[in-house]
Amino acid sequence: MADARRGDVFDLDGAVAVVTGAARGIGFAASRAMARRGAVVVMFDLLAAELEDAATAIRADGSEVVAVAGSVTDEADLDRLVEEATDRGPVSVVANCAGVIRRAPIDELTLADLQVMWDVNVGGTVGVTQRFLPTMIEQRYGKVINVGSLGSVTGLERRTAYATTKGAVSQYTVSLASEVGVHGIRANVVAPGYVDTAMTGPYIWGEPARTEELLGRIPLGRFAKPEDLEGLFVFLASPASDYITGQVLVIDGGWRAR
C-alpha cells in the first residue's frame, strides 16, 4: 500500500481487501473501485452465479479479484473466505456490504423478521470482521468499512427492525474503533440514503406517490447510484483516511439537511 506521506494517497496497490455482498449493488461498486486502485479484492457473496459474473466484469479491465461464494452466517463458508483471502497476502481492508431488509408496519413486525436481519446485518458484520482482526492487529494496520444506512442515524417507518440492525452496526463500529485504534486499525460506517439497487429499487420505484415523496426530500433531486459511493470506499480503504476512525459518514444527497 502507498505511503500516505508520498505519492498517491489513494493508491491501494498491494492491499488485499475483502468485500462481502459483492455480487451486486454497493458491494460490487466497492469491489470494482478498490480493484481499479490496485487492490487484490476477494469478493464474497451467497449469490454464486451473480458473483462470478461480477468478478468477470471487474477482471475485464485487468484488475485482480477472487470470487468466493458463501454466506456471512455460515462458519464453514467464513473459514473458506479466510483461507482464500490470506492466500493472497495479509488482509488490510474489510468492507462489510452484505445485508438484507424486510419491510412491515410496526404492528406486523415479527421476531423472526428481526432475527433474519440481525443474523446477516449484525452477525455477519461482526463475524467477518472478527476473522480478520488478528492479522490487522499483528501488522498494526487495517481498515474496516461497514455499511449502515439512514437507519443508523434516524427513524425509518415500516423498517423498524432493519433500522435496529443498522443502528447496531453503527454502534459496533464506533466501539470497535475506540478499542482497536491503539493497534493502528481504523473503523468507519458508510451510511447511504436511498440507493437504486436490486434490493431497494422495488421500494423506491414501486409506487409513483412514494417515489415523488422520497425524491422531494432529497435536495440533489435523485436517488444515489452504487457508483456514487465508490470514491468513499477508496478513500476509507486508502492511506488518505488514516486519521479518520469511529465515524458514521451519511451519504444521502442532502436528505437530512431538510
The residues annotated with a catalytic role in the active site are: 162
How many other C-beta atoms are found inside a 10 Å radius of the C-beta of residue 25?
A: 23
- Calculate ∠ Cα 73-249-147, nearest 5°: 15
For residue 145, the 8-state DSSP code is E
**CA dist 154 to 19, 134, 143, Å?**
26, 33, 25
As to burial, measured by CB atoms within 10 angstroms (0-12 exposed, 13-18 middle, 19+ buried), residue 249 is middle
b/e map 144-174, b = 16+ CB within 10 Å: bbbbbbbbbbeebeebbbbbbbbbbbbebbb
Q: Which three cell numbers stand for residue 3?
A: 505511503
